[in-house]
């Protein structure tokens, strides 16, 4: 069966993929956005820090984006999971779980990242409601509150000064050995930051709002919020499957315009960055789309000349 050759298949319909679709749609390119609709931030109620959209829910953000994309008829949406990608620059085949096939000249992976399962009892109940990962996203709402920071080692020594910009009232739970040097422990002590190494027994909460963190040694730490370091994994194995270089952290290796190590294949947003913010993802999607559009125009120019 013959399929229409589109200009681009965008896999992932979060801020990165939708922003790329807007740029490509306005550039009159035929684009399919294929999205299974399972973003990492689905647990949260509000997205902050996106100029003009501060505080909207992730679902409302996507709804508004799709509404505005309706103005561009060359952009279509497929609500499905991509299960395989094959082919090469100029002709990629994208297959979905429900049996659809999309054929396109270029590919953009905007597949985000995923959390590994949360193994601390009670953390899943509060994640996105009073337990967060990024103070730029959710620090303002918890300013001056009593917090528990779940972290250890050199990451903790980066995070402690950072979170102190929002509140000075926080205790650290390393949930095991703190992996600190004596000098680092002394530094935290000077700043009045208690460090607990006893494993976390439970996080007590009601309606998603944490009340206290209870440790195996019986210590109960009352608090109003938690910041923790998530364990992340790549949002999809497809970039690796088609040959893209991927870092140990699971992000796709790209240049400044989202170009991967495979010709014709781009990646943008959380999937290709350590900076996980909606506005940064949208910006990267926009940059990648402009680079894809440039390649597409140059190719059409030489085909037709």
Residues at the interface with ligand FAD (CB under 6 A): 11-17, 34-41, 43-44, 47-50, 81-82, 110-112, 128, 132-133, 137-138, 235-236, 238, 269-271, 276-279, 281
The DSSP annotation for 129-152 comes to: TTEES-HHHHTGGGTTS-EEEE--
Contact 267, 252 (CB under 8 A): yes
Q: How far is the CB of 10 from ligand FAD (least distance, A)?
A: 9
Taking Cα atoms as reference points, which of 113, 186, 122 lies closest to residue 150?
122
Q: How far is the CB of 62 from ligand FAD (least distance, A)?
A: 8
Q: How far is the CB of 242 from ligand FAD (least distance, A)?
A: 12
Contact 236, 111 (CB under 8 A): yes
Q: Indicate the residue among 77 and 198 with the shorter CB distance to ligand FAD.
A: 77
Q: How far is the CB of 267 from ligand FAD (least distance, A)?
A: 9
Q: How far is the CB of 12 from ligand FAD (least distance, A)?
A: 3
Q: Indicate the residue among 13 and 122 with the shorter CB distance to ligand FAD.
A: 13
Cα distances from 303 to residues 8, 55, 90, 127, 300, in angstroms, run 17, 47, 12, 52, 5
Q: How far is the CB of 219 from ligand FAD (least distance, A)?
A: 27
Q: Which residue has the tokens 């010709």?
A: 263
Instruction: Give the DSSP letter of residue 73.
Output: T
Q: Indicate the residue among 21 and 172 with the shorter CB distance to ligand FAD.
A: 21
Q: Indicate the residue among 246 and 278 with the shorter CB distance to ligand FAD.
A: 278
Cα distances from 258 to residues 250, 252, 267, in angstroms, run 15, 9, 5
N-terminal to C-terminal alpha carbon distance within the chain: 30
Q: Indicate the residue among 32 and 193 with the shorter CB distance to ligand FAD.
A: 32
Partners of residue 10 on adjacent β-strands: 33, 108
Centroid of chain to Cα 187: 32
Q: Indicate the residue among 48 and 196 with the shorter CB distance to ligand FAD.
A: 48
């Amino acid at each position: 069966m013959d399929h229409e050759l589109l200009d681009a298949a965008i896999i992932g319909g979060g801020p990165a993929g939708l922003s790329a679709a807007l740029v490509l749609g306005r550039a009159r390119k035929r684009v399919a956005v294929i999205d299974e609709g399972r973003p990492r931030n689905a647990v949260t109620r509000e997205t902050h820090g996106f100029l003009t959209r501060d505080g909207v829910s992730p679902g409302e953000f996507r709804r508004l984006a799709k509404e505005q994309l309706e103005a561009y008829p060359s952009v279509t949406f497929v609500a499905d999971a991509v299960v395989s990608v094959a082919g090469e620059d100029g002709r990629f085949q994208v297959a979905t779980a429900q049996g659809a096939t999309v054929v396109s000249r270029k590919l953009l992976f905007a597949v985000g990242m995923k959390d590994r399962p949360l193994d601390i009892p009670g953390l899943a109940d509060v994640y996105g409601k009073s337990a967060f990962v990024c103070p730029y996203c959710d620090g303002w709402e918890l300013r001056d509150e009593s917090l528990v920071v779940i972290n250890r080692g050199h990451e903790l020594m980066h995070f402690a000064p950072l979170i102190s910009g929002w509140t000075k009232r926080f205790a650290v739970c390393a949930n095991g050995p703190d992996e600190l040097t004596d000098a680092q422990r002394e530094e935290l002590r000077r700043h009045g930051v208690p460090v607990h190494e006893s494993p976390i027994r439970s996080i007590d909460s009601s309606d998603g709002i944490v009340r206290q963190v209870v440790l195996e040694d019986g210590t109960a730490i009352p608090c109003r919020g938690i910041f923790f370091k998530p364990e992340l994994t790549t949002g999809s194995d497809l970039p690796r499957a088609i040959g893209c270089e991927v870092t140990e952290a699971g992000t796709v290796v790209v240049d400044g315009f989202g170009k991967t190590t495979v010709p014709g294949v781009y990646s943008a947003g959380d999937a290709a960055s350590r900076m996980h913010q909606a506005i940064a993802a949208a910006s990267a999607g926009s940059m990648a789309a402009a680079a894809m559009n440039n390649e597409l125009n140059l190719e059409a120019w030489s085909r037709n000349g």
